[in-house]
A and B are shown apart, each in its own frame.
Chain A
Amino acid sequence: NAGVTQTPKFRVLKTGQSMTLLCAQDMNHEYMYWYRQDPGMGLRLIHYSVGEGTTAKGEVPDGYNVSRLKKQNFLLGLESAAPSQTSVYFCASSYYRPGQIIATNEKLFFGSGTQLSVL
């Protein structure tokens, strides 16, 4: 049981290049998330998904796109990387709490992070 796996762990890009970060979870979680972490800023939500085939914008979505074609995978894409996107990226997943009128998520399981530098 690997939990949440992120690839790659490190990447250096030049301004304008594109790349895709892959997140995979083997816990059959409905919810998946992409966060970025910058010094002094805590974690900020980029995009999230509440199920296969669905995505939604978070707090800082500009410059990123996501896809959830399979329940276990959540991809984060940078079409044209900018230095402002230098950050540590974390993927997370969580269980959906059934039986509630308004769904709430439970605890998040995080991947180990991707250190991205854009020069």
Chain B
Amino acid sequence: SQQGEEDPQALSIQEGENATMNCSYKTSINNLQWYRQNSGRGLVHLILIRSNEREKHSGRLRVTLDTSKKSSSLLITASRAADTASYFCATTNIFTGGGNKLTFGTGTQLKVEL
């Protein structure tokens, strides 16, 4: 079963708008990561946030983590057409022996229109 579930499944916005994607997970984690996948390509790592962190920034990306609600959000500001891709959250859970493997969610498909 998937540890992370992204919401929404699909998102369509205009260039310049902000895009927000959410991820919920079921069990305790020690880190959460976001990845991007362009159509037909492999996944590319965007950002990692540890369980003792609440917010992290990288360029136009902002990630928050709320361990009490078991949720994370990815905000892409001032979106561009090149941001069109699928976005996945992935978690590492040491408490179930998963300290060295990631479990991925089903992804959010983002489309940024000109």
A42 touches which of B45, B94, B100, B107 (Cβ 8 Å): B107
Contact B104 A42 (CB under 8 A): yes
A46-90 CB mask vs B (1 if < 8 Å, else 0) is 001010000000110000000000000000000000000000001
For residue B41, CB closer than 8 A to chain A, the reply is yes
Within 59-74 of B, Cβ neighbours of A (below 8 Å) are at none
A117 within 8 A of B: no
Contacts of A103 on B, CB cut-off 8 Å? Answer: 99-100
Asked if A108 contacts B43 (CB within 8 A), the reply is yes
Report chain B residues within 8 Å CB of A96. 100
A102 within 8 A of B: yes
Given known A104-B30, A104-B92, A104-B94, contact A110–B43 (CB-CB < 8 A): yes
Report the bound CA distance from A105 to B31 in whole Å. 9
- Size of the B side of the interface (Cβ < 8 Å), in residues, is 25
User: Within 8 Å CB of A4, what residues of B?
Assistant: 42
Interface residues of B in 10-69 (CB under 8 A from A): 30-31, 33, 35, 40-45, 48
Q: List the A residue with the shortest CB-CB distance to B89.
A: A42
- A4-B44 Cα distance, complex, nearest whole Å: 12
Per-position 1/0 for B66-102, Cβ under 8 A of A: 0000000000000000000000101010100001111
Least CB distance, A96 to chain B, in whole angstroms? 8
For A113, the chain B residues whose CB sits under 8 A away are 40-42
Contact B104 A90 (CB under 8 A): no
Question: Provided the pairs A40-B106, A42-B105 are in contact, do residues A107 and B45 lie with their beta carbons within 8 angstroms?
Answer: yes
Contact between B42 and A110, CB atoms less than 8 A apart: yes
Encoded as 1 (CB less than 8 Å from any B CB) or 0, chain A from 22 to 57 comes to: 000000000101010000111111001010000000
- From B42, B100, B107, A104 is in contact (CB under 8 Å) with B100
In the complex the two chains form, is B103's CB within 8 Å of A107's CB?
Answer: no
Minimum CB distance partner of A47 in chain B? B101
The answer to whether B99 and A104 have CB atoms under 8 Å apart is: yes
Residue numbers of A with Cβ under 8 A of B are: 4, 31, 33, 35, 40-45, 48, 50, 58-59, 90, 92, 96, 102-113
Name the 3 nearest CB pairs between A and B, nearest first.
Answer: A110-B42, A107-B45, A42-B106
